[in-house]
């Protein structure tokens, strides 16, 4: 018996057959601690076993009560994260008019991954929260959710799109940052919670003997020569810095887009002026600390 079995679709080019295969693959992985081979564009909802669903629902309702969230909870739905492939259980809360009010997301081990309040409550008489007060408010909200904020100071910025203060603790593993992961709390100016997110991508094992920073620089220099980037005007190659990164197809377009796992890497930032451009272009290249291979990167738009 299952709580729900509904299919949603995001990519029109994923055929019904493809979806069926993806869902079947996902079902085989449910509760086995495995991840599907590739679901990068799919958002297939899977069944949540009844016993697990009851637990997920109860936890979501209890948490919603703690934060005074509005809405009626729906049945939990299990999906695979589009990037990491990790299975997540989501409970949506709906208002009386049917609109979404809140979303509570937990990992299959019960860890709180995300809590989002989609309502727009009127501002009360509370003392407005400013940038200086936002971290304290974030710690209070995280405490109420059961998540522990790190002792280190967060980075606080105003997030206009969320209409809230974004208080961010970048995840670190053995002192090395994972810039795309972290514990993020969006605090409304009233002090109420807008959203919190605890992104903890799966980790590959750290290498016993990482390649050296010098070897990483040599690998990137070879890449620059191969692509003739070493001829670019005003080329600057920054010093390597260790980071946990999600591999991608930036360096190797043939690389797959399957589920990603954080890998320890040396990240090297490049700056140069392409021919005919007046502005500098920034690029980051990631060198796997275990193998010395280039495993991804990014650039500014």
Partner 1 sequence: MSDPARPARSSPPVARVAATIVALVVGLSGTGHTAVLAATYPASDYSNVTAFDTCDGTPDTISHSLEALAQSGLGYLGYTSGEYATTGFTRARVLSRASTDQAIYVHSHGDQYFDPYPKQVQGFREDGGDCSQAIIYATDLAAVRPATVHLVLMSTCHLAEAARTSGQPTMAAAYGIDRVKYTDPHAPDDGARFFLGYEGLAWTADMLHFEQRFWGYVTTGHLLGDAYTLARASAAMSGTTVPDWFGTYDYSGAPGSSLPCTRCV
DSSP code per residue over 168-181: EEEEEETTEEEEEE
∠ CA 261-8-107, rounded to 5°:
40
Question: Which of the stretches 30-38, 63-71, 143-151, 181-189 binds partner 1 when contact is defined by CB under 8 A?
Answer: 181-189
Q: By CB under 8 A, is residue 123 in contact with partner 1? A: no
Q: Give the separation between CA 3 and CA 75, rounded to whole angstroms.
A: 7
Q: By CB under 8 A, is residue 233 in contact with partner 1? A: no
Among 72, 212, 291, 300, binds partner 1 (CB under 8 A): 300
Q: By CB under 8 A, is residue 250 in contact with partner 1? A: yes
Q: By CB under 8 A, is residue 251 in contact with partner 1? A: yes
Q: By CB under 8 A, is residue 248 in contact with partner 1? A: yes
Cβ 51 to partner 1 shortest distance, Å = 26
CA distances from 232 to 9, 106, 217, 280 (A): 43, 47, 17, 10
Kindly report each contact of residues 23-30 with a partner whose C-beta sits within 8 Å and lies 24 or more positions away, as own/partner: 26/80, 26/87, 29/87, 30/78, 30/87
Question: Which of the stretches 27-35, 60-68, 138-146, 196-204 binds partner 1 when contact is defined by CB under 8 A?
Answer: 196-204
Site residues for partner 1, 5-34, by CB under 8 A, read 7-16, 18-19
18 three-class SS: helix
Pull the structure tokens for residue 197: 């997110």
Query: Please, which residue, 9 or 212, has the CB nearer to partner 1?
Result: 9
Cβ 27 to partner 1 shortest distance, Å = 18
Residue pair 3/75 in contact (Cβ under 8 Å)? The answer is yes
Site residues for partner 1, 258-297, by CB under 8 A, read 274-277, 279, 281-284, 296-297
Q: By CB under 8 A, is residue 252 in contact with partner 1? A: yes
Q: Give the separation between CA 70 and CA 66, rounded to whole angstroms.
A: 11
Among 1, 65, 109, 120, binds partner 1 (CB under 8 A): 120
Q: By CB under 8 A, is residue 257 in contact with partner 1? A: yes
Q: By CB under 8 A, is residue 246 in contact with partner 1? A: yes
Q: By CB under 8 A, is residue 299 in contact with partner 1? A: yes
Q: By CB under 8 A, is residue 89 in contact with partner 1? A: no
CA distances from 210 to 248, 264, 287, 290, 293 (A): 20, 9, 11, 5, 12
């Amino acid at each position: 018996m299952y709580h729900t079995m509904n299919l949603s679709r995001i990519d029109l080019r994923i055929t019904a057959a493809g979806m069926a295969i993806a869902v079947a693959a996902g079902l085989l992985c449910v509760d086995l601690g495995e991840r599907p081979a590739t679901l990068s564009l799919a958002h297939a909802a899977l069944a949540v076993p009844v016993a697990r669903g009851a637990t997920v629902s109860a936890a979501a309702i209890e948490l919603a009560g703690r934060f005074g969230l509005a809405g009626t909870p729906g049945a939990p739905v299990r999906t695979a994260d589009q990037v990491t492939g990790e299975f997540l259980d989501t409970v949506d809360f709906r208002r009386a008019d049917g609109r979404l009010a809140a979303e509570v997301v937990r990992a299959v081990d019960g860890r709180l991954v995300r809590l989002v309040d989609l309502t727009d409550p009127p501002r009360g008489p509370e003392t407005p929260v400013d940038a200086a007060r936002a971290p304290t408010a974030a710690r209070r909200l995280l405490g109420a959710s059961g998540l522990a904020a790190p002792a280190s100071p967060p980075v606080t910025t105003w997030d206009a799109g969320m209409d809230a203060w974004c208080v961010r603790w970048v995840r670190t593993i053995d002192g090395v940052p994972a810039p795309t992961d972290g514990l993020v709390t969006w605090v409304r100016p009233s002090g109420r919670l807008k959203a919190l997110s605890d992104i903890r991508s799966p980790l590959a094992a750290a290498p016993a003997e990482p390649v050296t920073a010098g070897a990483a620089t040599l690998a990137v220099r070879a890449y620059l020569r191969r692509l003739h980037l070493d001829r670019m005007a005003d080329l600057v190659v920054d010093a390597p810095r260790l980071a946990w990164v999600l591999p991608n197809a930036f360096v190797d377009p043939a690389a797959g887009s399957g589920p990603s796992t954080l890998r320890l890497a040396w990240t090297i930032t490049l700056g140069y002026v392409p021919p005919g451009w007046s502005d500098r272009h920034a690029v980051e290249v990631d060198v796997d600390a275990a193998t010395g291979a280039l495993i991804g990167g990014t650039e500014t738009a």
